[in-house]
Amino acid sequence: MNQPSTPTRTPTTAVTPARCSDARVIRIIDWFESLTPDTLDQLPSVYVEQARFKDPFNAVQGVPAIQAIFSHMFTALEQPRFVIHDVIVQGDQCFLTWDFHFQLKQRGTAITIHGGSHLKLDANGHITLHRDYWDAAEELYAKLPLIGALMRWLRRQASAG
């Protein structure tokens, strides 16, 4: 009986940030985890000039546009911060899982969003593509005071169980 052949794959490394050995990725993780309004001017050392960024609310290209998104984050939210948990590196790409912690300015409500980022890097380790994946309905809307009740009701109505 012939066994199906296993496709040849490029080696992939899945690690926690503390054990990540890729200096390019370590530098990026350090930057995101220490991001403040004062470090936004370092964005050109992390992203290429025409980098693309996409998340559930934004799709932009270029360092100034990406910088505006992070700047708005600090204006709209209290104490926003990222905590990177897992890292997968394959060639010039990596995937990070993270928690984004913040408080709503109006209510002081603490919220945590769980998500992931797919990053593509150039030869110098700068980000050329940053694509965030997270469920806005579950991770944000359901946690907001008024819309959250509606979201939870809708989830119950759509649930099979």
CATH number for 81: 3.10.450.50
Q: Is residue 6 part of a domain?
A: no
Contact 83, 56 (CB under 8 A): no
The mean pLDDT of 6-25, rounded to a whole number, is 60
- Considering its fold, how many domains does the chain have in total? 1
Contact 152, 142 (CB under 8 A): yes
Label the pairing between strands 47-54 and 127-133: parallel
Q: Does 38 score more than 90 pLDDT? A: yes
What domain range is 53 assigned to?
15-135
The mean pLDDT of 62-87, rounded to a whole number, is 96
Contacts of 127 by beta carbon, 8 Å cutoff, 6+ apart:
28, 46, 47, 48, 51, 119, 120, 121
Q: Does 76 score more than 80 pLDDT? A: yes
Q: Does 152 score more than 80 pLDDT? A: no
Confidence of residue 15 (pLDDT cuts 50, 70, 90): very low
Q: Is residue 7 part of a domain?
A: no
Place of tokens 């052949």: 5
Q: Is residue 113 part of a domain?
A: yes
Q: Is residue 39 part of a domain?
A: yes
For residue 78, what pLDDT is reported? 93
For residue 94, what pLDDT is reported? 97
For residue 110, what pLDDT is reported? 86
Q: Is residue 1 part of a domain?
A: no
Contacts of 123 by beta carbon, 8 Å cutoff, 6+ apart:
92
Q: Does 106 score more than 90 pLDDT? A: no
Q: Is residue 19 part of a domain?
A: yes
Confidence of residue 4 (pLDDT cuts 50, 70, 90): very low
The mean pLDDT of 2-15, rounded to a whole number, is 43
CA distances in angstroms from 27 to 37, 48, 113, 124, 159, listed in the order given:
18, 15, 23, 12, 42
The mean pLDDT of 88-108, rounded to a whole number, is 91
For residue 14, what pLDDT is reported? 45
